[in-house]
Every structure is written in structure tokens, then in C-alpha cells.
Amino acid sequence: MKVISLYDYTGVMGRPWAEAGADVYCYDIQHPKWSCRTEAVGKGRIHFLHADLHFQHDLDGIYHTHKWSVDFLTAFPVCTDLAICGNKSKATKLALNPNVETQARDHAINCAELALNLDCPYMIENPVSRLATLWRKPNHYFHPYEFGGYLSDSEAVHPTWPDYIAPKDAYSKKTCLWCSDSFVMPQKKPVDCESFGASTQYRKLGGKSIKTKNIRSATPRGFAKAVFLANSKGL
């Protein structure tokens, strides 16, 4: 099987697919230009490739590279310009560019259109934001702790950011999913949540550094595993 993951720096979403034998292609602007890093994972591989997904040229390139052979697509478009919370920086952005929100919306819609052109199931993730108003209502909502039960005790501690992400994703963060009709929402296996609302880990993750943004937006591992099990068709 072949899986494409857009706006994906970490590769967490595709890791369960790769472990089972799939080829996973993660596209993100943070990956180095002119080179592809490939990581062997279980029976499969994860390929990390550079792409500026805000440009149609790069999306077209992905389509022509993978057309007719993609089994599943996930996307995590940038949510910064769609945030509901009011702040001075957002007001400044809107003053400089009144179309900043609709442009951010279009980036999410472009992911769905790419999946439709590739004729594959898709899932687009964003936190609660203006996207629900500017595009359409989400198909599903979830919190990370609701899928923490998919992680075994040996997988509990986060392998990359254990000081920031609670074991077994035991934190709350209301998250929205926009999906194709063929996407299967997995059953929940919740764990006890450390706190509701502003979780302990997010109080450690203020600021605007790339590292902080990557941790805040990291895909919950339990949710990634649950989505694979529900949508892999026995891979």
C-alpha cells in the first residue's frame, strides 16, 4: 500500500502503516530540498520529502508522481491563520491581508481536492478553528486521550518529547476531522486524562519557535494507530 501525508514533519501518522509494510510519503516544507530521507520502519518505509504545499505547482507534482496508486491520504494544514482566539497578531495579519483566512481555508480544501483526484480515502486534521465556518462542518471531533488505550504500556512514554507529551496521550485537545465518505472513524479506547481544557503539557509550550509548534501539532500516536487499524483493510 501507499500512503501520502501532507504537512507532515514527524511521520507519526504514517508509522503504523509503514510498520505493516506500506510506503509512506511525508511532504512538508521543513524537509530538506533536493533530497529525500528514507527511514526503514518495520516491514515498510517512510519517505520524508520537501514540498511547499501552499503552491499549486508542488501539489500538482505530488499528483503526477503518485496518480492511480495511493491508498490513503492524511493532511495537517497550517492552522495559525484560522485560530478562533483573538490576538493582536491576527488583527495585524488581517489588516495587512484581509484574505489571510480564506487563503488558509483554501490550503485545506486543496488537500481534499488532491485526494479526490487521486481517488483515495482522506482525513484532514485541524484543531477547532474558523475552518468549520469558512469551509464546512467537520465530520468528527476527538481528544487525544480518547485513543490512548491503543498504546501498550511499553509504548506509553513518548519517544521524542517525553517531557512535553503525556504518556499514552493522556491530555485533552479538541480536534476536528474532515474526511471522505470512505474514511472509517476508529472506535475510542480512552485513558484517564491528566486534565481538561489547558493541559499541563501545553502550559510548557508557549512561544513561537519551530520546535514548540512541532510539538504542539504532533499527531497523537494512539490516534494514528487507531486510524491505521480502522482503515488499512487488513494490511
What pLDDT is stored for residue 121 in this prediction? 97
What pLDDT is stored for residue 218 in this prediction? 85
Q: Which pLDDT band, with edges at 50, 70 and 90, does 161 fall under?
A: confident
| Phi then psi dihedrals of residue 48, to 5 deg | -105, 115
| Phi then psi dihedrals of residue 188, to 5 deg | -80, 145
What pLDDT is stored for residue 204 in this prediction? 59
Domains in the chain: how many in total?
1
pLDDT digits (tens, 9 = 90+) for 174-200: 999 999 999 999 999 999 986 665 556
Alpha carbon distance 61, 170 (integer Å): 38
Buried b (16+ CB within 10 A) or exposed e, 31-60: beeeeeeeeebeebbbbbbbbebbeeebbe
Q: What's the average model confidence in pLDDT over 46-60? A: 97
What pLDDT is stored for residue 205 in this prediction? 60
CATH number for the domain spanning 45: value is 3.40.50.150
pLDDT digits (tens, 9 = 90+) for 198-214: 556 666 566 567 777 77
What pLDDT is stored for residue 203 in this prediction? 61
Measured between its terminal Cα atoms, the distance across the chain in Å is 8
Could you tell me the CA-to-CA distances from 130 to 43, 48, 126 in Å, in that order? 39, 29, 10
Q: pLDDT averaged over the chain?
A: 90
Lowest average pLDDT, out of 86-90, 98-102, 120-124, 160-164, goes to: 86-90
pLDDT digits (tens, 9 = 90+) for 96-144: 777 888 999 999 999 999 999 999 999 999 988 889 999 999 999 999 9
What pLDDT is stored for residue 88 in this prediction? 60
231 touches 158 (CB < 8 A):
no
Type of residue numbered 147: F
What pLDDT is stored for residue 214 in this prediction? 73
What pLDDT is stored for residue 162 in this prediction? 86
| Full residue range of the structural domain in which residue 168 is found | 2-231
138 touches 105 (CB < 8 A):
no
- The structure's pTM equals 0.91
What pLDDT is stored for residue 207 in this prediction? 59
What pLDDT is stored for residue 100 in this prediction? 84
Q: Which pLDDT band, with edges at 50, 70 and 90, does 155 fall under?
A: very high
184 touches 229 (CB < 8 A):
no
